[in-house]
A and B are shown apart, each in its own frame.
Chain A
């Protein structure tokens, strides 16, 4: 089997790209996609370690992470639509109403 370090490095790189996406991009939808990237990176790590330990727990956790990601995407996108209806923008820097 391919060494675990390789899989974890890949997971770390994708996770870091997701973090960079959330910080750099100000379009809310792209920020959302970067969050999905982060979740996927974590899923990859879970599956990789789980298959090396021979335990199905890793895959069960991935199953739940996927479900929670689906629920979160649905609600988050609903919020984005509401924001857009009121503010007409999806640029995160324009949403400054509650800043001091």
Chain B
């Protein structure tokens, strides 16, 4: 991929990420996050991780973000008006982020140079090689992950369902008034 395309995608990712944290409307933040995810997926594909890139779109941008969307709908989150926190907090946050970026880029950069590019084996990033690793070296992790997903499904249903008999406090108040 030509370098200018990498730079363009990188800029797009950074701008979308900024959009996530700056937007007041939660759905706009969600759309910005989807844009970031798609850009990162394209970068994955550019780095020869083709299957993982498409999985990112299928799983992250296609399913997890829909989950977020449903929750925003369910809670009927509106655009945030009103003050959004102390100025001190914002300054601290920005400063912390800036320091983190500085440390990660400039202080750790010499270590990056020690990663030398070796050739990629045949079929790198293909489904066959990913599955080969998953079902041999990482088999235990794979099986444990399936149990984890099952626990997540059961847990989220248990947390989010309405127990029979308990009313929604808002609805009760509306009916009462």
Contacts and interface: CB of A to CB of B under 8 A. Distances in A.
Q: Is the interface of B mostly helix, strand, loop or mixed?
A: helix
A12 B14 CA distance: 10
Contacts, number: 241
B49 A59 contact: yes
A82 B162 CA distance: 9
A53 to B, nearest CB: 6
A2 B1 CA distance: 9
B94 to A, nearest CB: 6
Contact of B153 (A9, A21, A74): A74
Interface in B47-87: 47-49, 51-52, 55-56, 59-60, 63-64, 67-68, 71-72, 74-75, 77, 80, 84-85
Nearest to B23: A30
Contacts of B84: 25-26
B100 A75 contact: no
A52 B21 contact: no
A: interface residue count bin: 35 or more
A8 B125 contact: no
B177 interface: no
Q: Is the interface of A mostly helix, strand, loop or mixed?
A: helix
Nearest to B150: A71
B148 to A, nearest CB: 5
Contacts of B152: 70-72, 74-75
Interface string B94-125: 10111011001100110011011111110011
A42 B18 CA distance: 17
B39 to A, nearest CB: 10
Contacts of B137: 57, 60
Given A16-B101, A40-B36, A81-B160, 7 more contacts: A8-B112, A37-B33, A47-B49, A52-B115, A75-B159, A77-B160, A78-B158
5 contacts: A14-B17, A29-B71, A44-B43, A70-B63, A74-B152
Interface of A: 1-2, 4-10, 12-21, 23-27, 29-30, 32-34, 36-37, 40, 43-44, 47-54, 56-60, 62-64, 66-75, 77-82, 84-86, 88, 90, 93
Interface of B: 1, 3, 6, 10, 13-14, 17-18, 20-21, 26, 29-30, 33, 36-37, 40, 43-44, 47-49, 51-52, 55-56, 59-60, 63-64, 67-68, 71-72, 74-75, 77, 80, 84-85, 89-90, 92-94, 96-98, 100-101, 104-105, 108-109, 112-113, 115-121, 124-125, 129-130, 132-134, 137-138, 141, 145, 148-149, 151-153, 155-160, 162, 168-170
